[in-house]
Structure 1
Amino acid sequence: MRKSARTIVVGLFALAIGWAWAPGTASALETELGMGAFAGFTIGASFLDTSGIEDYLEPADVDSFGTAHLDLGGEFTGILYDRVVLGMNAAFLVDDNEGPDLDVLLSAGSFHFYGGYLLFETHRLRGYPVLGLGYSNLNLRLDGDYTPLPPAQQAGVDYVSLDALGQGADARIATQEEISLNYGAMTAEAAFHLEFYHPIAGRPDSFAFMLTGVRLGYEVEMFSTGWYLDGDSLHGEEPDFRFDRGFVRLIFGFGGGGAFERSHRRIYPEPDAAAQDDLAPEPERHQ
């Protein structure tokens, strides 16, 4: 599954490069984007260290999750006054693993608001760094025999005597089949956007465009709200985990905008010399 995910990401990146540099269908349009916005979706990989979670699940003999995870998300970005960048993004990942008697579903999501500044812009290519703040959450759903794990007692595992069954021992019986562990944190992210945009329709100073790009960055945990078990604070031993991860994501979207300075000149045009001559009053004739 992970090999297929990597193949999909590489294929989409190649498609993005070809799309962005294809011959323009609206080559006469202005391609310097000074004011505008776009929305799109993202697909890529997150590099999340889950080794502490794997150690926590080791008594149940659950397989390793690995480090790289396929994630999907969305992006909305606005460009203001030629240089200022404001936006928001969300990203989600899902991975599952299993042991002999326990299935584990790991899911995570994050949402950030960010701001940045345009560093450069050439023909259909621009780059800018951003800094963002937001919230991230990770969920572990344990389905099956979780009795070897620390949360078992809090989740409602009863110790019952099996003497009546002739086994002469105590055993742990789970009173519910599934439990959910949640971890939340306030996070900050730093990223760099490299984007190609391709005008598709409009006027010389206002146009619609397709956009493809890549987003490279790192997310770091600022402080955590801790672990919760089915809505209550988790007691006792907790998984050793921090919401720190690197990521690389491809962006595909559509938007609209135009050249800020050109729009300004169109609204307040300066008359040329010929127009000034036409508007000048005729000299008085003396008889």
Structure 2
Amino acid sequence: MTDALQSLLDLLSLERIEQDIFRGRSTASIVPRVFGGQVAAQALVAAGRTVPADRPPHSLHAYFLRPGDPGAPIVYTVDRIRDGRSFTTRRVVAVQHGQPIFHLSASFQLPEEGLEHQEPMPPAPDPLELPTAAEMLPRYADRFTGPGVVERLLESRAAIDLRYVDEPPFATAGEARDPRSQVWFRTQGKLDDDGGIPRPLLDICLVTYVSDMTLLDSILLAHGRGGWAVGDVVGASLDHAMWFHRPLRADDWLLYDQESPTAQGGRGLGKGRIFTADGQLAVSVIQEGVVRVPRA
């Protein structure tokens, strides 16, 4: 396990300050606010710590209400909405400086058998044939706005081995492409089965963390925009929904297949499917975000 991955796991290991109240911390982000995937993952950890370990999450629905302050702790309050025979529901509010910054509803299910079908996994190259972030990002340093962007991007993703199948938006800014993108990802190192957060909750929380990294890229591709790194778009997550269909391991390769069906009114919609390397559809994701062109 790399130091960066251990730091991420420490970030997810919340401090319990009351029975259903937890405190988390943040790390420096590539933008001057708390990374949305971090808040979502921490909130899901807080909810999961009030649910029996044999009931993994099967869905979450969340709203990003205010930008988070990376320099202040985040307090997560969990409401035990329902404990049923098969399903358990939790609501989590994340608070900083006395104001809610994030709201999460999550549902957990006792595993059971049922009808089975899924969409097939789309074609994608072997992830080991693709360049790592450390190999790819320096190629585009001259396109980024301001110094140190490459270093900040590498630091923000140091715990995750994330590899683009096609060139990312900042590589082809000015050239409109199909609103589709793919990345392979896994943690930078193997996870312990006996860590502080039980599996499969840990795997699902780590995938939740990664799910906010690239989902809005397909919106940018449709308009030839490169994103914040090249200074031609201002954006932020508004809401986020995920459905967890089948077991996965965050330390094995996962394919994140993403597309954008629409953008309008200063907002854009991203849809994603996460597949295991053997073709199992494990997660569906939908996110809407603010996508604005800066005024001249």
Same fold (TM over 0.5): no
Give 1 or 2 for the bigger CA radius of gyration: 1
Smaller-chain TM-score bracket: under 0.3
Bigger share in strand: 1
Bigger share in helix: 2
Relative contact order higher in (CA < 8 Å, ≥ 6 apart): 1
